[in-house]
Amino acid sequence: MDHKESLPGHGRMKSLFISPFRFYLIFFAVSFAFCSLGGRLVYLQVFKSDGYSKLANGARKNFIEVKARRGDVVDSKGNLLATTRSVVEVGIDPHSVNPSSRMKFGQLANLLDIPVKDVTAASEKLTRRVGLEGKEIREVRWVKLKEEVSEDVYREIQKLEIKGVYGNYKHSRLYPNRRMASHLLGFVNKEGTPAMGVERYADYYLKGQDGWRESERDGRRREMPQHRSFEVSQRDGLNVELSIDRMIQDMVESELKAIVEEYEPVSASIIVSDPRTGYVLALGNAPDFDPNLFYESELGDQRNRALSDVYEPGSTFKIVAVSGAMNEGLVAPSDIVDCSVASVQRGSRIMRLPSDDHALGRITVSEVVQKSSNRGAAQLGLLLGSQRLYEYCKAFGFGASTNFGIGGERNGVLHHPKRWDGLTITRLPMGHAVSATPMQVHASISSVANQGILMRPQFIKRVFDAEGKTVVPFKPKPVRRVVSSAVSEDLTKMLVSVVSVEGTARRARLSGFDVAGKTGTTKKLVEGRYSNRHHIASFVGFFPAEDPRIVMTVVVDEPKMKNGLTGYGGVVAAPAFSSIGRKIIGYMGLKPKPSRQQSLANRPPGGRSAL
């Protein structure tokens, strides 16, 4: 019997040992695993420590931007025109909604004033595709239900206790008077960018400076104020006071509505200002828009036509040639102009004169203005000469922006004499061969009312802080002297005669007050020719003539008259001037003259020998 076989348990002892190959295989496998893990830890903790530290800090740190409140806009009496309110943007986290909460979706939809199906659809939007090809799928943790909800409504929503429905507080711009002064106010769009009007012009003062704070948040992503490390307070925006008077603005816009209803024009503009300061008291355009719902209006309705639309001013432009000739000492108000002639000799050339609506014969310079004689104005233009006529046009502000400041303003067209043709010298004095904005025409007549000094039109009076202290004043800005005060006074007397029973603007009269003004009726250019069916009616004037407090310009584009009649400025625009003027007189408490016997209309202007 073999000895090995006789030893008990010999087979079991042999099984306790493994082969060297298996031993080393297991040893190296375990060593490799630990080395790999250690290498990975070294890689993450040493080489990638900065990146993962930032990632960890980003998950723990909480950076909150604190939006500054945009300043208010008020009128000259402190009435609110634009303000900022706190609203809540309400949304839902589809992954956090409990099935039991769906029973409250109807109540939620009623509070938000949206269909129930919109809430249901938002709660079911769990994922979305991202990337150029849409291959990557991500969870949706926020679906907006309504952009702006009042705080009171949001408190009612919170009482429903629907898990996953929450809101973010933000600022929203509000225009409490809706359409009032919309072209002057402008608006702030959904991205918070100001567009047009004072919102854009004064954005530097209104917007303020945003603040921020950095703290830590817990596992539920709630801020832990005790761990705030940095905090910069926001600085709310300053407030802006306009020169606009809300009451006068309302008068203007009510009259614009009446004009639209009666004449159905393409557009209409009315400007009211103080000639002594250049401050605009009211400015309105039709059509207009609601700044609260700017996205619902057409872009054309948002255009400030008083600054952007140009037209041939027509007879309102005659004050340039008349005042220029008087300022140069070439004529006096009582000098005679022969308006019966159809042409005049100018050097070796014979110049054809424009025609008048009625034969006027030999009339005074004052009557040239009163009767709105085209031939008379043309002869005064010839007397001035091309260069001096051009310089007076520039002095009155034509051909250049008034620097009103809110954008969109056009320069108009005033060609240099080198570009004039043979007819320009006789057509320019009657308001042809030139184009201007309503604001330019308004500024020119204001200079006559202001003793011959052209003022820059402005609509901002000051910028002030929360305590009412003025931070930036916007003082009246004289531009230049256009004509002498004596010429301005003589021209005012002529313009008063225009608004008399014998003048072309008798419908602009105001009981107890002398009104100085000028009508304008211009044919529009259609396909390169003056149209007999398309007109622009206008009237510019001021009162009281002896001490002007109010200057007003009314421009109506293509008024539609009954029976196909022409919409003359004296018929369409002058009555609007009178209607607003009567209301302003009552509002401002202006006192009429005690006696009409000594009115400017009845006082003869200073005279010289006849031509």
What's 484-521 look like in SS3?
CHHHHHHHHHHHHHHCCCCCCCHHHCECCECCEEEEEE
Using the 3D structure, point to which of 190, 216, 242 is the last residue of a domain.
242
pLDDT for 76? 93
Specify whether 255 is located in the same domain as 186: no
Centroid of chain to Cα 574: 27
CATH number of the domain where residue 157 is located: 3.90.1310.10
pLDDT for 446? 96
Question: Is residue 44 included in any domain, yes or no?
Answer: no
- Tokens 């320019």 belong to 428
Using the 3D structure, point to which of 182, 215, 242 is the last residue of a domain.
242
In the chain, how long is the greatest CA-to-CA distance? 168
pLDDT for 257? 96
Residue 213's alpha-carbon distances to 66, 227, 228, 234, 320, in angstroms, are 8, 11, 7, 10, 62
Specify whether 253 is located in the same domain as 342: yes
CA angle 72–247–520, rounded 5-degree value: 115
Specify whether 298 is located in the same domain as 191: no
Specify whether 224 is located in the same domain as 280: no
Using the 3D structure, point to which of 242, 273, 301 is the last residue of a domain.
242
* Rounded-to-integer distance, Cα 339 and Cα 326, Å: 18
- Tokens 């249901």 belong to 120
Residue 608's alpha-carbon distances to 335, 338, 376, 546, 611, in angstroms, are 6, 16, 17, 23, 9
Question: Is residue 610 included in any domain, yes or no?
Answer: no
CATH number of the domain where residue 438 is located: 3.40.710.10
- Tokens 């025409």 belong to 441
pLDDT for 610? 36
Specify whether 227 is located in the same domain as 335: no
Specify whether 80 is located in the same domain as 183: yes
3-class secondary structure, 136: strand
Specify whether 299 is located in the same domain as 159: no
Specify whether 179 is located in the same domain as 285: no
pLDDT for 470? 94
* Rounded-to-integer distance, Cα 438 and Cα 316, Å: 11
Range of the domain at 301: 246-602
Question: Is residue 136 included in any domain, yes or no?
Answer: no
* Rounded-to-integer distance, Cα 523 and Cα 410, Å: 21
Nearest one of 309, 251, 298, 374 to 555, comparing CA atoms: 309
Centroid of chain to Cα 448: 28
The total number of structural domains that make up the chain: 2
Question: Is residue 358 included in any domain, yes or no?
Answer: yes
Give the H or E element holding residue 586. Answer: helix 569-588
Specify whether 184 is located in the same domain as 198: yes
pLDDT for 565? 76
Question: Is residue 21 included in any domain, yes or no?
Answer: no
CB atoms within 10 A of CB 89: 18
What pTM was estimated for this model as a whole? Answer: 0.79
Question: Is residue 569 included in any domain, yes or no?
Answer: yes
Specify whether 416 is located in the same domain as 500: yes
Question: Is residue 412 included in any domain, yes or no?
Answer: yes
Question: Is residue 354 included in any domain, yes or no?
Answer: yes
* Rounded-to-integer distance, Cα 325 and Cα 337, Å: 13
Centroid of chain to Cα 580: 24
Specify whether 230 is located in the same domain as 287: no
pLDDT means per 10 residues, the chain with 611 residues, are 48 59 80 82 72 60 71 94 84 77 80 81 73 64 76 79 74 88 91 88 89 60 53 83 96 95 94 96 95 89 93 92 94 91 82 85 91 91 93 94 88 93 90 93 96 95 93 95 95 92 87 92 80 87 94 94 82 94 94 63 45 37
Specify whether 262 is located in the same domain as 231: no
